[in-house]
């Protein structure tokens, strides 16, 4: 049976605003109540203000009071499923911790990892006193 989190990430990818890179990404995050929040990458003419799909999904979810995230999915059109960039790994770690992350491409190929594998030895709030 199809995984609704993957389906949501693939659907969100369709909303990507990526006129500069043409690289469309979708993300979906499941919260503690089972609700799914989605995001897509949104580019900007200055390039540097671009937001990745993962951060859009997380920030949308946080802004609506969601918490207790359990899983995140990332969808892109690459042979090897696309992992999140370094900036997104930091944000995913801070808001989600060592959760499961599912990478998927458009041909149904998927890979499931944990954030701890993708982002070992993180800098987080525990270092700040
Ligand atoms: N991008 C994401 O949205 N997520 C990723 O995990 C990797 C990169 C976006 C940023 C930019 O709009 C485009 O993909 C090319 O880097």
Q: Based on the residue annotation, tell me whether 117 is a catalytic residue of this protein.
A: no
For ligand 1, is residue 85 a contact (CB within 6 Å)? yes
| Residue 129 alpha carbon to ligand 1 centre in Å | 33
Give the mean pLDDT of 34-63.
98
- Confidence category of residue 1, pLDDT binned at 50, 70, 90: low
- Confidence category of residue 10, pLDDT binned at 50, 70, 90: very high
Going by alpha carbons, the residue nearest to atom 2 of ligand 1 is 52
Q: Which two tokens stand for residue 108?
A: 């149904």
| Residue 25 alpha carbon to ligand 1 centre in Å | 6
Atom of ligand 1 nearest to the CA of 42: 12
Statement: residue 4 has pLDDT above 90: yes
Give the mean pLDDT of 19-28.
98
Q: How many other C-beta atoms are found inside a 10 Å radius of the C-beta of residue 96?
A: 23
pLDDT of residue 40: 99
Catalytic residue among 14, 54, 94, 100: 54
Statement: residue 84 has pLDDT above 80: yes
Give the mean pLDDT of 9-25.
98
Mutate to test the pocket of ligand 1, among 24, 25, 74, 81 (most ligand atoms within 8 A of CB): 25
Atom of ligand 1 nearest to the CA of 84: 6
């Amino acid at each position: 049976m199809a995984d609704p989190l993957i389906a949501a990430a693939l659907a969100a990818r369709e909303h990507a605003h990526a006129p500069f890179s043409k690289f469309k990404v979708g993300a979906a995050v499941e919260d503690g109540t089972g609700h799914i929040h989605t995001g897509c990458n949104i580019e900007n003419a200055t390039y540097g203000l671009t937001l990745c799909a993962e951060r859009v999904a997380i920030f949308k979810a946080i802004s609506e009071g969601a918490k207790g995230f359990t899983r995140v999915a990332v969808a892109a059109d690459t042979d090897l499923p696309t992992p999140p960039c370094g900036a997104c790994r930091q944000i995913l770690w801070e808001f989600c911790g060592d959760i499961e992350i599912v990478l998927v491409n458009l041909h149904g190929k998927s890979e499931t990892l944990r954030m701890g594998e993708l982002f070992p030895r993180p800098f987080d709030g525990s270092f700040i006193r």
